[in-house]
Amino acid sequence: MHMSRRLLFAAALFGAGFSFVAGEAAATTLTTNTLSIWETSGYITGSATELSFGPIQLQPYNTSSGITLYGIQQPSVGFDFTGPDGGGYVLSGYSYHSLNSLAGASDAVGVMDIATPASGESAMFLSVASTGNTPLTLSLSDGESFSVVSGAFIGLSVSHPITWLSLSTSSGSQPILDDFYFADSSLQPDAPTAEVASFFLLGGGLLILFGARRKLLKLAA
């Protein structure tokens, strides 16, 4: 009788634990380096909005607030650009190929951070470069990262909202951003019920455990 109880207990816990792990959903991300493909080949839904780089001046934006750029077609939607650099901030207006741009720090700790609107964005297209033509790294809030050559484009379509992006390059070279579009991803969002489903599956395992315990108690009586 004691052996049967242990086996039932272990089986119920295993079932509950397995269900919890199986309920986790994986992210999906599509990438391209061509704006026309990003806009018309199933990466986004609806129309894309371009951020206005017009307000950028050739001056420092070395504060925690940095500079906020707004959508040309959606002027109420803004993205916050800052340049965290150790304990301070290094971000400045820059002219890249005669275009208004932003440049980050030139050391190993400086990056250019981009905070999306509060609800996050699921599809973005960036034009990036570096002052030393060094490769850049684009990191996302979900832990993904991408390598991009200087003077290139990267378009993203993600199955869930991204709340921030970070652009960096090697020490001695500054990361540059000279264009930015955003839109809604065409990918189905990660199932918001994944964690809820895990909860119910876990609860089901616990109910099995409870039922098995009651049955064993009746048998013991």
Question: DSSP assignment of 56-125, as one string?
Answer: --SSB--SSS-EEEEBSS-TT-EEEEE-EETTEE--EEEEETTEEEEE--SSSSB-EEEEPPTT-EEEEE
CA quadruple 94, 95, 96, 100: dihedral sign: positive
pTM above 0.85, yes or no: no
At 188 the pLDDT is 75
Given 2.60.120, 2.30.30, 1.10.3470, 3.40.109, which CATH number is that of 29-185? 2.60.120
DSSP string, 8-63: HHHHHHHHHHHHHHHT-----EEEES-HHHHHHSSSEEEEEEEBP-TT--SSB--S
Question: Does pLDDT of 102 surpass 80?
Answer: yes
At 61 the pLDDT is 98
Question: Does pLDDT of 196 surpass 60?
Answer: no
